[in-house]
Every structure is written in structure tokens, then in C-alpha cells.
Amino acid sequence: MADDDSHTTDDGGIGSTPGFRTEPTERSLTEDGSNQGLFDDLLSGEPIFENKEVLRPSYTPHELPHRSDQINKMATILVSALRGETPSNILIYGKTGTGKTASAKFVSQELEQTSSKYSVPCEVEYINCEVTDTQYRVLAQLANKFIEKNHEWIDERVDELESLRERVDETDIDSPADESPESSQSVDVVGSPPETEGVDDESDPASQRAERDEEPTVQFQEETDVEADETPTQSDSVVETTGDELRQSTHPLAETPFDSVSDVSERIDELEADRESFEEVPMTGWPTDRVYSVFFDAVDYSERVVVIMLDEIDKLVEKSGDDTLYNLSRMNSELDNSRVSIMGISNDLKFTDFLDPRVKSSLGEEEIVFPPYDANQLRDILQHRAEVAFKDGALSPDVIPLCAAFAAQEHGDARRALDLLRTAGELAERSQTETIVEDHVRQAQDKIELDRVVEVVRTLPTQSKLVLFSIILLEQNGVHSINTGEVYNIYKRLCTELDTDVLTQRRVTDLISELDMLGIVNAVVVSKGRYGRTKEISLSVPLEETEVVLRSDSRLSDIDDVQPFVQARFDN
């Protein structure tokens, strides 16, 4: 029995799975006897990064090199919002990675900070239309944002009014409810003189008026002076009841639009009723006109200027047409309190060609074009970010020029350059080296390219995946210079095996052209002389990695090895 217990303990402790052995104790303990975790060795190395987030696309820097002209132009257009006026709508064009979104966010942050500084109600709302790509979702997201802001404003206002009401109540409690006859008489003297007792009705009226005008006034002055010295609270009560001019200098309701506590309570009830009236919009289920109505009421609840930033605006137009832009660009004519301006950001210079002429005229009031960066400009951007992102001495001199050169080859994409520099740093950190060198940049270039291919292949439609899988099977079986007919033969057999609809050969040819456009395959039209023209197809991406991505699709994972049938060819 003792042997059995000892054996159980050696295998990982009482209650562990029989036959499962843990790592030896010597590898699980450090020199001081503490447990050695999985990440301890990785954390033992000196980190290269000081702030890695600076190299991510989501980061908005405090300075944007080589974009001052575009930023200044945006600022001159939007400055009218700080004057309470409606800014012109802006359309921003440029290829990927040219600083459009970063510049627009930078200007928006400056605008909101300045509006807060001068207490001007101005807000900027950002929406990524690649994610929020329908009219319903755009309006619902905007409506819910402004409902949330309205709730915050109402809560703050109610707190202020409740505090005011409490101070009024405290003031009324401190003031005595019943005043002494002397003070009461004194107040009456100021308001309307009381009748004098013991005066003969037959006495001279002039002398009576003199007595009423002189003696009681002197008595009032004396009593007031005495009471002011002895009981200040009674003096405060007198001041409160002697007219608006004195009341405004001491009472909590002074310099407010309210005349009484009941007015304050009534306003609090109105605000709480407004708060209850704002109903959050669900992401699905409502008619679009109802969502628009809720958004309209929410944005027009208080006085403000709103700039709606629509990033990837061409995706919204492509998915749901220009109805959203039409409604947003025309709503200023119906708003009473607020003003709305649109800032659209697009990679497509021609997307406005598909807009309604009325939308196009109102939306494109101002246009700003962001040109691609050249290699020298990319070098400045990377140098500016690297000073914050990396520790001193972490970069060899040739790293930033090489990253800039690689990115400049792809239409000056700053985002690609930053990703390249960040990935090179991560590879160096994983290898536990202290300096990033040129070799790390080249490895990062290959890794990013592979990651891009994996993402593109993973998101392909099923029919395109079957066509690509057919090309992979042909190359795996030693077929070179693949033609469309050979791809189509394999494609039909795969469709039969998966019980999928078979497209025509003409449609498969179009799918091959799309794969060529994505850079996954290389399709070249060659002439065969008397035999006509054909496409010669070859794979442009790593074969094994691409096959793994395709087989990760549940529908393609069960495909058995298909031996391609290759027709006889007479090749020169």
C-alpha cells in the first residue's frame, strides 16, 4: 500500500491522471526555491521597446511630420465650429497609409480641447464605416452616443439644481419664521406706514403727515441699528424682504432664472422626464425612419456643433447607397439647436461618381488630398516614432532606412513602414538580442507578407477557395505552366466531392483573374499560335502555408487526395 501511495505521488500528486508525468522538480524550481513559470525566461531578458503602442496604427501622435499643410487646411475649415457656425463638409482622399485618419483625429482632438477651453459646445463623433456599414447601424450608433451624452448633461444639471434647492431650504431655515413686533413694524414702515395710535382726528392733517413721515423713520433707523448689532439673523430677514435689489445680493436664487423653490423643483422634474424619454436604439429591429427620428431628437436636444467623421466612407456607399449621406447632409435645415457637419475619409478617389448629384454637391464642399509619402518622408516619420518607441541604442543605423525603402515601394504606406519596424523589434526581442539589425527587418518583411496572404486566403469565398485548391493540387503533382482547362477539371471533381454547385468555365476564369489581382496566383495570357491563346497559371504564395489555411475551412478539411488528370500537351 505504501508503495502504491509513493508511486501516485511521484506521478504528479494524489488525484492526478495515472500515467501522466509532470516536468522534473529540478526544472520547476529556481535557485531560491520559488516556482519557475513558463514566462520567467522570456521576462528575464532586457526589453527593447519603451512604448510599443506608438508604432500601432491606432496611435494618434502629437506631431505629424509632412502633413502640416493638410492639417492647417482642416483647421481653417473647422474653426467656424468654435464660433457656433456650421463648418463646411470635408472629403479627405488618399491611399492607404498616407496619414488621413491620423491627421483627422489629431485635428478633432485639438478642436474638442479648444472648445472645452472656451466653453463652446462642440463635439466630434468618429465612425469606422468598414465596420458600421449600413444606414441603420450608423444612425443607431450616433443616436446612442448622443443619448449617452444627453444623459450625462441632464445628470449634471439635476445635481446642480438639487444643490441649489438645498441651499435655498437652508437659507429659509436660518431666517426666523416669526419676527418680533418691532422688526415687523420696521418692515411695515419701509413698505407702507402704519396708522399712528392716539392721534386726534381733529388735529392738523399737515402735522399728522409730518409725524408719520419723520418720527417713525427715525425710530426705524434706531431700531434697525440696534437689531443689527444684537441679532444679525433678523437683519438678514429684513434684507430678504425689502425688495429685489437687496435680495439679489444674498439669496441663493440670485442671478438664476428661478423665482422660487417650486420653479427649481419643476425644472428638475422636466429634466428627469426628458431623461426617461430617451430610449436607447437597439442594433436591429426598428424601422430606419424611427432610428433617424431618435437620432434627430437626441442631437438637437441641446445647443452644439457636431462634426461626424465617417472613416472609409466609400464602404458605406458601396454597401448601403447614399441615403445616409443624403439625410446627414440635409438635416441642418430642420435642426433648431444644433448644427451638423460631415468629414468623410476615403481611399477611393472616384467613389463620389456613384453619388446622387444633390448629395455630391452638398457633401464635397471642401476636398483635401493626401499624397503618398516618399522614402525620405517615411524615414522622418519612423525616426520620430522610434525615439519614443524604443530604448536608447536598440536600433542599428540601417534599420529605419531599410523599413522606409520597403514601404516606399508600396505607394508610400506609412502604416506598412510602422508595422515593419514594430515586427522587426518583436522578432529581435523574441530572439533575446539587444539590437535590431537589418536581418530582423528582412524577416519581418517576409512575415508580414505571409500574414497578409493568410488573411486574404482565409476570407476568400468558397468557390474561389476551390479554384485555388485546384491550382495547389496541380503544382503538388508536378504540373507547371497550368492552363485554365486543367484547373477546371480538378475544380469540377472537387465540387462533386463536396456536393457544391459547379460554375461555368468562363466564371472560373474570372475567379482566376481575381486571384491574380489579389497577388495569390500569377496568370499570364500566352499565345499558342494556331492553337489560340490561353492563360498560364502559377502560384505566387507559399504552397504549404496556403494549403494549411485552406484546409482550416471546415468544408475543405475533408477533401481526400485528388489525383489530377492532366491532358497531353505538346509543349515546345
**Would the annotation count 101 as a binding residue?**
yes
**Would the annotation count 385 as a binding residue?**
yes
Closest CA to 540 of 484, 460, 466, 457: 457
Residue with cell 477611393: 348
**Would the annotation count 114 as a binding residue?**
no
* Strands (E) located in 40-118: 90-94
- Interior angle at CA 125, CA 320 and CA 78, nearest 5: 110
Q: Please give the full DSSP string across 502-564, using - where no structure is assigned.
A: PPPHHHHHHHHHHHHHTTSEEEEEEE-GGG-EEEEEEE-S-HHHHHHHHHTSTTTTTPPP---
**Which residues share a beta bridge with 482?**
537
Residue type for position 282: P
Cell numbers placing 376: 525620405
Backbone angles phi, psi at 161, to 5 degrees: -70, -40
**Would the annotation count 99 as a binding residue?**
yes
**Would the annotation count 492 as a binding residue?**
no
Q: Quote the CA–CA distance of 171 and 355 in Å, as a whole number.
A: 63
Residues 6+ apart with CB under 8 A from 529: none
Q: Do residues 549 and 487 touch, judged by C-beta distance below 8 A? A: no
Q: Do residues 425 and 394 touch, judged by C-beta distance below 8 A? A: yes
- Label the pairing between strands 304-311 and 338-346: parallel
- Label the pairing between strands 122-128 and 304-311: parallel
Total length of the chain: 572
Q: Quote the CA–CA distance of 235 and 247 in Å, as a whole number.
A: 12
Q: Quote the CA–CA distance of 100 and 370 in Å, as a whole number.
A: 7
Cell numbers placing 388: 519614443
Backbone angles phi, psi at 527, to 5 degrees: -100, 135
Q: Quote the CA–CA distance of 249 and 243 in Å, as a whole number.
A: 11
Backbone angles phi, psi at 155, to 5 degrees: -60, -45
**Would the annotation count 364 as a binding residue?**
no
Residue with cell 488618399: 94
**Would the annotation count 105 as a binding residue?**
no
Q: Where do runs of H (alpha helix) occur along 17-99?
A: 25-28, 40-44, 68-78
Residue with cell 467656424: 80
Q: Quote the CA–CA distance of 477 and 171 in Å, as a whole number.
A: 95
Helix H or strand E encompassing 247: helix 244-247
Q: Quote the CA–CA distance of 326 and 316 in Å, as a whole number.
A: 12
When computed from its CA atoms, the radius of gyration of the chain, rounded to whole angstroms, is 39
**Which segments are annotated as binding site?**
98-102, 373, 385
**Which segments are annotated as binding site for ATP?**
98-102, 373, 385
